[in-house]
Amino acid sequence: MIDNMRGNILYLVVPCYNEEEIIEKSIDKLKEKMNRLIKEKKISPKSKVMFVNDGSRDNTLSMLHKAAKEDAMISVLGFSTNFGHQSAILAGMMYSKDYADMVVTIDADLQQDIEALDDFIACYYKGSEVVYGVRNDRSADSFFKKSTATMYYKLLHFLGCDIITNHADYRLMSKKALNALSEYKEVNLFMRGLVPTMGFPSDVVYFDVKEREAGSSKYTLKKMMTLAVDGVTSLSIKPLRMIMALGMLACVFALGMLVFIFVDWIHGNTVPGYATTIMAPLIMEGVTLICLGIIGEYIGKIYLESKARPRYIIDTFVWKENEEE
Ligand code: UDP
Ligand code: MG
């Protein structure tokens, strides 16, 4: 279905956390790309780049304010503190959805190829409400990140999640999709798992990933682990069912052992079995604690959801009408 009446205002949402080493370069590149798209009449001159400062502790925010002062194309949304990447992109999308017809989220380090934007926009004009950016390969990643990411996507698929392999958060969403997203009130945010469940017509665009040009990754191991656990707990309750299955299996095993010991006893065998006596409870204790941990993780999530605290707090918002209109 081709919808030629689709609006053409594009907003780019760029989350930033301590990005002072690279932000000025990224601003220039994004502005240049946006101006090119406007010139080619692919997007409206009212289009903007909205930077979301996720409580940076360096000079990122002042650099963003300076850029916004110089050019009305730049808009700045500032958090009161660090709420995390997922909250930053959510806030950016929620703040731009009233002005924009389509929103693309992209990392501040521009590791994701901005030339793919043309394809994103083309898919949108063809009728897609969501367009997923999927990386061609992971050669820019370390061996550790590559292998853990591959295993993680496999795990999520095994748990029955409708997630797109190698799609991070480089994604276009239409106004309609954003309005639907605004209905989701969960605190446990895992955007790349949530968006496919909305069921809108979607498409995929492939892009190359580059090395980070300056600064270092802001996704620490701790943040990556949190995102991974959030992903599983927000998408699937299968781990809880697997615990139940494990418990049943253990019971069947115990019953078998009982029969075995009974038969042994009838035959008058004395079993030395010291190692088994020590090992069996130890292993079971370990399994029990892991199971309790998994259950605890879900209870923790229920606790957070029931408090329903805001997912971010806005401290500043800069948005100016474009001059040329
Ligand atoms: N980021 C953020 N809040 C955080 C951590 C990261 O807004 O708490 C932003 C960061 O500034 C960047 C994007 O999320 O724009 C992706 O982070 P990064 O490039 O460091 O991750 P990587 O590419 O190494 O996975
Ligand atoms: Mg990066």
d(CA 309, CA 296): 20
Please indicate, yes or no, whether residues 80 and 198 belong to a single structural domain of this protein.
Answer: yes
49 with 30: CB under 8 angstroms? yes
Predicted pLDDT of residue 285: 87
Looking at the structure, do residues 106 and 65 belong to the same domain, yes or no? yes
Considering the domain architecture, whether residues 99 and 179 belong to the same structural domain is answered as yes
Q: Ligand 2: distance of its center to the CA of 209 in Å?
A: 9
Same domain flag for 16 and 156: yes
Contact between 30 and 64 (Cβ < 8 Å): no
- Give how many domains the chain has, as a whole number: 2
Q: How many CA atoms lie within 13 A of 124 on its CB side?
A: 29
Residues 83 and 120 in one domain: yes
Do 247 and 272 fall within a single domain?
yes
**Ligand 1 pocket, 120 CB below 6 A?**
no
Q: Are 103 and 81 within one domain?
A: yes
Asked whether residue 205 falls in the same domain as residue 260, the answer is no
325 falls within a domain: no
**Percentage helix, strand, coil for the chain under 3-state DSSP, each rounded to 5:** 50, 15, 35
- Tell whether ligand 1 has an atom less than 6 A from the beta carbon of residue 230: no
Is the shortest distance between the CB of 191 and ligand 1 below 6 Å?
Answer: no
Q: Residue 281 belongs to what domain range?
A: 238-307
pTM: 0.89
Same domain for 68 and 202, yes or no, is yes
Residue 284 lies in a domain: yes
Is residue 230 one of the residues assigned to a domain?
no
> Based on the domain organization, do 207 and 93 belong to the same domain?
yes
Asked whether residue 248 is domain-assigned, the answer is yes
Q: Report the nearest-CA residue for atom 22 of ligand 1.
A: 217
Ligand 1 contact via 16 beta carbon (within 6 Å): yes
**154 domain-assigned:** yes
**Residue numbers in the chain where pLDDT is lower than 50:** 1-3
Pairing assessment for the beta strands 314-318 and 74-79 based on DSSP bridges: antiparallel
Ligand having the closest approach to the CA of 107: 1
Are residues 314 and 300 located together in one domain of the fold? no
Asked whether residue 245 is domain-assigned, the answer is yes
Q: What is the structure's pLDDT at 271?
A: 66
Nearest Cα to 83, choosing from 189, 6, 237? 189
What CA–CA distance (Å, rounded) separates 112 from 205? Answer: 12
**Please, what's the b/e burial string for 90-104 (b: 16 or more CB within 10 A of its CB; e: otherwise)?**
bbbbbbbbebbbbbb
Residue 221 lies in a domain: no
| Positive/negative CA dihedral, 178, 184, 188, 194 | negative
Ligand 1 atom closest to Cα of 108?
15
Q: Which residues surround ligand 2, an ion (CB under 5 A)?
A: 107, 109, 111
Same domain, 167 and 292: no
Ligand 1 pocket check for 106: Cβ under 6 Å: no
Task: Identify the CATH number of the domain in which residue 25 sits.
Answer: 3.90.550.10
Q: Could you tell me if residue 250 is inside a domain?
A: yes
- Model confidence over 208-236: pLDDT tens digits? 998 888 889 999 889 999 999 999 998 88
Q: By CB neighbour count within 10 A (0-12 exposed, 13-18 middle, 19+ buried), where does 52 fall?
A: buried
Ligand 1 pocket, 91 CB below 6 A?
A: no
